[in-house]
Amino acid sequence: MPRFTLYRYLSVRTLTGVIGLLIILAMMTILIDMIESLREVERIENAGIGFAAQLTLLRAPKLVLTTMPFIFLFGSMWAFYQLNKRSEVAVMRSAGLSIWGIILPSAILAVLTGIAVLTFADPAASRMSSEAESIKNDIRGKSANLIKELNGGIWLRQRTDEQTLILHASSYDADNNLLRDVVLWKQTLDGVFLERWDAEQAEIQDRRYVLHDARLRTLEGQDRQVRETQVVDALFSIDELREDIAKPETMSIWALPRFIDLARDAGLPTVKYELRYHDLLALPVKLLAMVLIAASFSMKPVRQGGTVRLVLWGIAAGFLLFISAEISNATAEARLVPVVLAAWAPVFIAGFLALTFLFNTEDG
């Protein structure tokens, strides 16, 4: 059999396992998230099953993509196990094909899939997830306070029953909870200017803006110095301010670098966004590691009860990789290790262990 034909056959076998598992997980994800969406909208008037379905369909792609490493782990495991069970692996090896030649098509497929996901699929899923967040905020009667684009500093916006407040600050001092170089506009709900406050700095304390050395400008053009501090009611606390920043999972690999730079310049924490960025970059390598792990478990001689053991080994491997990634992320967020090390170390360690096992299998 020509080498190209053999590689195509192996790729199709792996792709069949991956797509089959992808469909199953997608159906399960939609079902579970639909139940959650119904709970979210049941207390909202005139929001029925159609609205819940809209939320679910917007969130489902992102949720499914987060399981891609496990889809490749179990999909590849199924493909290799079927080949081994039918003695196809033994035939290919007796014909002179090494274990690396058997794995190569699946490995290439994993890398190409990872590149396609982070380049095309994830940006589209991120936009859909962001839209779902906006709809959910509307359901809760909550408008976004932090404008996603941090051009020229930080932009905050809040809407009350009587007016709209828009605040701009050049930077944020996280240690002291201070906003620097603050400009605060008050407008009517129709967007008519009422007044403007300028201050060198402002604190957010107990749902209040405390402006220091503030200057007032009104529609009549008045410009006068006010008291050393001016208090303006706010709708959110400093913790809610941090939460209102766009969530890392709603941002694509193309948007993250610029957002990280702007957020860093504004003094906002960026660790979660950096972890998200490197996690996306590592996706092709992570999927490759999943194929290697699957091969290391599936290339053993088939014995009675092998299917159960294979599933258990796969679950254990996936669980350990997930736990190690969570621990690495936690240590990075605590600033105990660099972000790059936290994001990439679990992937390379898993791949190295799988390679070690495969080398032992090949030489043995």
Give the model confidence (pLDDT) of 181-221 as tens digits: 888 888 888 878 888 888 888 887 777 878 888 888 877 76
Average pLDDT over residues 292-309: 73
Lowest mean pLDDT among 55-64, 134-143, 179-188: 134-143
* Cβ(179)–Cβ(210) below 8 Å: no
Average pLDDT over residues 150-173: 74
Determine what percent of the chain is predicted with pLDDT higher than 70. Answer: 83
pTM: 0.78
Which residues are CB-contacts of 63 (< 8 A; sequence separation ≥ 6)? 29, 33
pLDDT-based confidence at residue 147 (cuts at 50, 70, 90): very low
**Using one digit for the tens of pLDDT, what is the confidence trace for 226-260?**
667 778 777 666 655 555 566 788 888 998 998 88
Q: Shortest CA distance to 216 belongs to which of 199, 204, 232, 201?
A: 199
pLDDT-based confidence at residue 13 (cuts at 50, 70, 90): very high
Does residue 120 have a pLDDT over 70? Answer: yes
What span, in angstroms and rounded, lies between the C-alpha atoms of 16 and 307? Answer: 18
Lowest mean pLDDT among 60-74, 84-98, 126-140: 126-140
pLDDT-based confidence at residue 70 (cuts at 50, 70, 90): very high
pLDDT-based confidence at residue 16 (cuts at 50, 70, 90): very high
| Antiparallel, parallel or unpaired: β 193-204 and 215-218 | antiparallel
DSSP code per residue over 268-311: ---HHHHHHHHHHHTHHHHHHHHHHHHHHHHSSPP-TTHHHHHH
Does residue 175 have a pLDDT over 90? Answer: no
- SS3 per residue for 127-174: HHHHHHHHHHHHHCCCCCCECCCCCCCEEEEEECCCEEEEEEECEEEC
* Cβ(153)–Cβ(80) below 8 Å: no
